[in-house]
């Protein structure tokens, strides 16, 4: 093999080896715009009930917290999943009863600089529509 062909082969191997390494920096994961600690009030106008909620939403849009029904004197654990566009599912449980809420939530910035998580959610119990819940949670 000629010296020129050997050099050409070595250069080709070196170039190809350089193409197969690290693909570059990792792209950062998308952080949910709803991430944070939220605390506030909810109202179920269909069933004439009110209460409070506290939830921590992680950067992946999933979270957990507590729901209190002040009308009935109940408290339970809650889980939440919210997409980056605001499509939300809450599940909460009082004793043996589990409720599901679905709907869309929005971030609203008020003139006092507070940031609110607001919206209307359909409430289901035993797979039947049970009510409509409005929420207004403030970012802490």
Of 1.10.238, 2.60.40, 2.40.128, 3.30.67, which CATH number belongs to 36-139?
Answer: 2.40.128
Q: How many C-beta atoms lie closer than 10 Å to residue 68's C-beta?
A: 19
Write out pLDDT tens, residues 22-76.
555 666 668 999 999 999 999 999 999 999 999 999 999 999 999 999 999 999 9
pLDDT at 19 over 90: no
For the stretch 125-138, pLDDT in tens is: 999 999 999 999 99
Q: For Cα atoms 76, 79, 83, give the angle at the middle one, nearest 5 degrees.
A: 150
The band of 13, judged by pLDDT with boundaries at 50, 70 and 90, is low
- The β-bridge relationship of strands 36-44 and 49-57 is antiparallel
């Amino acid at each position: 093999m000629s010296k020129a062909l050997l050099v050409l082969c070595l250069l080709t191997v070196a170039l190809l080896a350089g193409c197969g390494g690290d693909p570059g920096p990792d792209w950062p994961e998308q952080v949910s715009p709803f991430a944070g600690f939220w605390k506030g009030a909810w109202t179920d106008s269909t069933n004439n009930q009110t209460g409070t909620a506290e939830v921590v939403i992680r950067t992946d849009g999933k979270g957990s917290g507590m729901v209190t029904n002040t009308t009935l004197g109940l408290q339970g654990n809650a889980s939440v999943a919210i997409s980056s566009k605001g499509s939300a599912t809450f599940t909460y449980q009082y004793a043996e009863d589990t409720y599901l809420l679905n709907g869309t939530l929005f971030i609203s910035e008020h003139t006092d600089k507070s940031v609110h998580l607001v919206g209307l959610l359909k409430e289901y119990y035993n797979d039947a529509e049970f009510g409509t819940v409005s929420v207004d949670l403030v970012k802490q």
